[in-house]
Amino acid sequence: MSGSAHGHGHTPAAWTGVSIAFIGFCVSGLFMVAANPLGFWGGIAITLIGGVVGMGMKAAGLGAVKETPERKHAREQAGRIAAERVAAQGGV
């Protein structure tokens, strides 16, 4: 289970982009109910800005790190070793 969070966007870039986009959705919803088209489109613009900011932060190195072949091999090898230890101890 601990490996399930790997690569699921738990990065500063993802959190910032989603937070800005969420604010944009809230602004759009508020102005939609208030029947103000200009405010609605302003909220849509904020939502799009959230995506641009998130991608920009990812490009700046604040996003998820891509897994190199060496790192993937090391992770798989560590998993095999852990499974062998569990099996040697009489586990599943």
Along the 92 residues of the chain, how does pLDDT read in single tens digits?
445 455 566 899 999 999 999 999 999 999 999 999 999 999 999 999 999 999 999 999 888 877 788 888 888 899 898 888 888 887 66
Q: pLDDT value at position 84?
A: 87
Q: pLDDT value at position 49?
A: 98
Domain count along the chain: 1
Q: Is residue 59 part of a domain?
A: yes
Q: Is residue 53 part of a domain?
A: yes
Q: Is residue 3 part of a domain?
A: no
Q: Is residue 77 part of a domain?
A: yes
Q: Is residue 20 part of a domain?
A: yes
> Please, what is the angle between helix 37-57 and helix 12-33, to 10°?
180
Q: Is residue 2 part of a domain?
A: no
Domain of residue 81 covers 8-88
Instruction: Measure Cα distances from 74 to 6, 67, 79, 81 in Å.
Output: 15, 11, 9, 10
| DSSP state at residue 7 | T
Q: Is residue 12 part of a domain?
A: yes
Q: pLDDT value at position 1?
A: 40
